């Protein structure tokens, strides 16, 4: 499943540094605006303790984690919706991703230029959010004009589009992003067709200095971001891009010692990756054995035959049943035979909704 998360923000807030740490892809990071022009792309494995436990149990010949694609998009500036600072190209890059990680600078450092000359994460975030909203307003206004014209002949679909666009514009002109506007199912289909930037799910990454990490969301600058995110029904991950960039270059032992020194259990990147994965409303099921332990990505609510189709189309076409066990039961009891003996191995049919963390074996016939 090819799903992409775009990393956005003002210039010099730490986007490319964070991307380098995420993907270890060597994306250029420098202390001047528009260092990143073309978007950099990295495919990042999703850290998953459940998979680690299954690997420890089976000691397989092959391990295949699930992954998320991150796209480092160049810094946006005020006026981007009107083409300022290569804004048209940058906004088109955002249109092509499925979700957004919005990096905001929550640290003060005189050695790193701030595009506005001061550190205010809420002001910074609102610049980006306003530019996305202005571009969406342009898109909705254009669609409304078309819908009004086409609905004169009585076209019901165009009348619905016109009504939806009018409702969107009223809310957007009050500063409301599309993802927070309550709509019925038919209207949501109209919004989907518009590919609105503010309809995409968003996660804030509050980029802090090392000294601020222990304070977490109680840090004064981070607290402002948390308050903003709450109004938008978004989440916040506190992370130090500079520290994460250091951590990825360490050996496992050095990394553990470094994290212990910071007083944290795992790199902040792990939380960010998992949150981005959840932002896309994705879940994971596993296939596990001596040959291979593999994580498979599906959307929440996927039925068993469609999940089987992720492995091979024949599995979906000839689906008979799925043998399902929870990863906790399998790890706790030590084998599928033990799970079965306890009556915890379930046989599920075509209507079974796959759950996050299921370990599955599919029976099929073609």
Burial class (CB in 10 A: 0-12, 13-18, 19+), 81: buried
Q: Is 225 annotated as a binding residue?
A: no
Q: Is 16 annotated as a binding residue?
A: yes
Q: What distance in Å separates the CA atoms of residue 81 and residue 89, rounded to the nearest whole number?
A: 10
Kindly state the DSSP code that residue 299 receives in the 8-state scheme: E
Q: What distance in Å separates the CA atoms of residue 76 and residue 11, rounded to the nearest whole number?
A: 7
Decide: helix, strand or coil at residue 363.
strand
Q: Is 15 annotated as a binding residue?
A: yes
Q: Is 17 annotated as a binding residue?
A: yes
Q: What distance in Å separates the CA atoms of residue 300 and residue 313, rounded to the nearest whole number?
A: 19
Kindly state the DSSP code that residue 214 receives in the 8-state scheme: G
Q: What distance in Å separates the CA atoms of residue 277 and residue 1, rounded to the nearest whole number?
A: 12
Q: Is 13 annotated as a binding residue?
A: yes
Q: What distance in Å separates the CA atoms of residue 76 and residue 132, rounded to the nearest whole number?
A: 10
Q: Of the candidates 312, 318, 322, 324, which has an alpha carbon nearest to the alpha carbon of residue 364?
A: 318
Binding site: residue ranges?
Answer: 12-17
Which residues are documented as binding site for ATP? 12-17
């Amino acid at each position: 499943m090819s799903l992409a998360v775009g990393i956005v923000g003002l210039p010099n807030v730490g986007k490319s540094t964070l991307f380098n740490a995420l993907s270890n892809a060597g994306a250029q990071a420098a202390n001047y605006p528009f260092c990143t022009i073309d978007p950099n792309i990295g495919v990042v494995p999703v850290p998953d303790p459940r998979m680690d436990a299954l690997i420890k149990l089976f000691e397989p010949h092959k391990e295949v984690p699930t992954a998320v694609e991150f796209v480092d998009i160049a810094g946006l500036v005020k006026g981007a919706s009107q083409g300022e600072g290569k804004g048209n190209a940058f906004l088109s890059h955002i249109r092509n991703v499925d979700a957004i990680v919005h990096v905001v600078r929550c640290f003060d450092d005189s050695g790193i230029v701030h595009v506005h000359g001061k550190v205010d994460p809420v002001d910074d975030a609102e610049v980006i959010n306003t530019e996305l909203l202005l571009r969406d307003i342009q898109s909705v206004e254009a669609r409304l004009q078309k819908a009004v014209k086409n609905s004169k002949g009585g076209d019901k679909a165009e009348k619905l589009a016109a009504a939806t666009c009018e409702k969107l514009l009223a809310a957007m002109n009050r500063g409301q992003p599309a993802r927070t506007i309550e709509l019925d199912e038919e209207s949501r289909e109209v919004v989907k067709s518009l590919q609105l930037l503010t309809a995409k799910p968003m996660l804030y990454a509050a980029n802090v200095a090392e000294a601020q990490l222990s304070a977490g969301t109680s840090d004064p600058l981070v607290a402002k971001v948390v308050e903003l995110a709450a109004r938008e029904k978004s989440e916040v991950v506190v992370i130090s891009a500079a520290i994460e960039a250091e951590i990825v270059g360490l050996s496992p032992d050095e990394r553990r010692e470094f994290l212990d020194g910071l007083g944290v259990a795992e790199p902040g990147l792990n939380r960010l990756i998992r949150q981005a994965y959840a932002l896309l409303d994705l879940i994971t099921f596993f296939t596990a054995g001596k040959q291979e332990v593999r994580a498979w990505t599906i959307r929440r609510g996927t039925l068993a035959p469609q999940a089987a189709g992720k492995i091979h189309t024949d599995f979906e076409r000839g689906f008979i049943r799925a043998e399902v066990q929870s990863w906790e039961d399998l790890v706790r009891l030590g084998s599928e035979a033990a799970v079965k003996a306890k009556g915890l191995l379930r046989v599920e049919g075509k209507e079974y909704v796959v759950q996050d963390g299921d370990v599955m074996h599919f029976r099929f016939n073609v």
